[in-house]
Amino acid sequence: MNELLVFICDGAPVRGEIVSISSAWQAVLERRNDPPVVQRILGDFVGAATLLSASLKFDGTLIIQAQSKGPIQLLVVECKSDLTMRATVKLSVEPADINPNATLDELLDADNTGRLVITLDPSDRQPGQPPYQGIVALQEQQGTVIKPVTSAAEAIALYMQNSEQLDTRIWLASNETHVGGLLLQRLPDSGGYAHLDPQLAAEGWSRIQTLGETITDEELLTLSPQTILRRLFLEESAESGVRSFPSRPIRFSCRCSRAKVADVLRMLGEEEVESILTEQGAVETECDFCAKAYRFDAVDCRQVFKTDLLVDATRPPSSGH
Ligand SMILES: [Zn+2]
């Protein structure tokens, strides 16, 4: 089960998605050694990234990134429009020092400084054009009280409310083998639902939410999206039609390459790279997402900084000598 199912309701202005990820999630985990409490948070964000990526109609990469002063220093999940994804976490403490019962805000929102940045990087972005970024604070101000955001689902719903102006409900569950999620979104009445009486539309949205609220973590983690859809909307489908589209596969895929590592070395600069070579004999690095090892020895590094060669390579091939 590595799939995402989109459905719409004929009798209510609602679009929904159900996601179930197993081997693609295990591919993320097999390269990592995070404590279960961190795994669950990462898993929830992996589920969220796939649901968001499929719900925002754009072609490119969606990146969910959290930086914090808490035990989770950095969390990154990337999902492309074709639903290939990768994810990583960097901890600021030893895994053994993390409280196994810590909540999201304890791990990601120390001193109320937690921020979630959601970036939409279109595949046709022009050089110099910045990607679109939305920021969600991991606290919610309610009157004079600051309330921490305690789950990935809550953070994503806040983002959708603020950035996309869409009422969104989201349920996420994850464990060491599976990630599951359900997203419900209220569509504008003006869309294909102009025929619906506004009161009926509001009632429809509230009825679908009530059905959504009956979902359990157990169901999200063990059932296929099709089975979940049937169970949740059994009556709804008979009465007013819940229609699903063919499900789409989700895969783990890393975009790292030797050429990208070479770019990083160029950014570091020749002097810095020389000093690493002197100290360690070679530059060795590992991809944060897939743990693939890259090694550049002195000869490789010289190639990286051979700018003449690079300039030549970008010239169109000459037509004979
Ligand atoms: Zn990689």
Expressed in angstroms and rounded, the spacing between residue 249 Cα and the centre of ligand 1 is 20
More confident position, 186 or 239: 186
Could you tell me which of 52, 55, 54 has the C-alpha nearest to residue 65? 52
CA 69 from centroid of its chain's CA atoms? 21
Expressed in angstroms and rounded, the spacing between residue 178 Cα and the centre of ligand 1 is 21
Architecture of the structural domain at 258-314:
Alpha-Beta Complex (3.90)
Four-residue CA torsion sign, 265, 271, 274, 276: negative
The yes-or-no verdict on residue 314 having pLDDT over 70 is no
Expressed in angstroms and rounded, the spacing between residue 27 Cα and the centre of ligand 1 is 12
- pLDDT for res 194: 67
* pTM, full prediction: 0.89
Confirm or reject CATH 3.55.30.10 for domain 2-252, answering yes or no. yes
Q: What is the DSSP string of 200-264?
A: HHHHHHHHHHHHHTT--HHHHHHS-HHHHHHHHTHHHHHHH-EEEPPPEE-EE-----HHHHHHH
Expressed in angstroms and rounded, the spacing between residue 173 Cα and the centre of ligand 1 is 25
Expressed in angstroms and rounded, the spacing between residue 256 Cα and the centre of ligand 1 is 4
pLDDT in tens, 41-69: 999 999 999 999 998 888 999 999 998 88
Could you tell me which of 3, 42, 317 has the C-alpha nearest to residue 176? 42
Expressed in angstroms and rounded, the spacing between residue 265 Cα and the centre of ligand 1 is 16
Expressed in angstroms and rounded, the spacing between residue 29 Cα and the centre of ligand 1 is 13
Q: How far apart are CA 72 and CA 106, in angstroms?
A: 9
Expressed in angstroms and rounded, the spacing between residue 52 Cα and the centre of ligand 1 is 23
Domain ranges of the chain: 2-252, 258-314
Expressed in angstroms and rounded, the spacing between residue 133 Cα and the centre of ligand 1 is 24
pLDDT in tens, 259-300: 999 999 999 999 999 999 999 999 999 999 999 999 999 999
